[in-house]
Structure formats: structure tokens, C-alpha cells
Structure 1
Amino acid sequence: MEKAFEYLDAPVKRVCGKNVPIPFSPPLERFVIPQVEDIVNAAKTILK
């Protein structure tokens, strides 16, 4: 990765969890941890 950085055509985009403590409740986890839809949307944004 470090050696191929100059070959990127677009800036790096990070898809990660929010900067908050992870909740114990599984239903609340989906608001903190990136979901499949979040990852797909980020990939589509980069490809535009």
C-alpha cells in the first residue's frame, strides 16, 4: 500500500466507525459500526 500511493487517481476515503464508545445493545451497534450500505455508498462516491 505505501509503495502504490502515488498511483492513486483519487484521494483515500476511510470508511470506519464513529468516534464514540461501542454500545452494548446490538440494535444500537448498527448506528456506530459501518454497515454494508455505508461501504457501498462510499465506494460509489469514489467511483464517480
Structure 2
Amino acid sequence: MKRKLKNSVGIWAFGPAATRFDPAGYHTELSNETMEAYIAWHLEQSFK
């Protein structure tokens, strides 16, 4: 039986390549934050 690949890898799997066209990333307001703060912000947004 053939399995369907899920597209839930997310942007994190691609590292900097995911935002290569925008060096500051998708959320430029967070560009000066630490990685911990950046991830915490995304987690908060995910559970709203």
C-alpha cells in the first residue's frame, strides 16, 4: 500500500533556505530577538 507524504514538516526543516528571499525572515519584527524568544513567539501564535 502506498503512503501519502504529509506536508507538516514546516519551515523549520529548511533552515535559512526557507526565507532566502527575505533575509530577516517572515516576521521582520522578530529579527533582533534570540532564537528562544523567536520560537516562543511562534508557539504562542500556534495555540491562539
Q: TM-score range by the shorter chain?
A: 0.3 to 0.5
TM-score by length of 2: 0.34
Name which structure has the greater RCO, CA cutoff 8 Å, separation 6+.
1
Greater fraction of residues in helix = 2
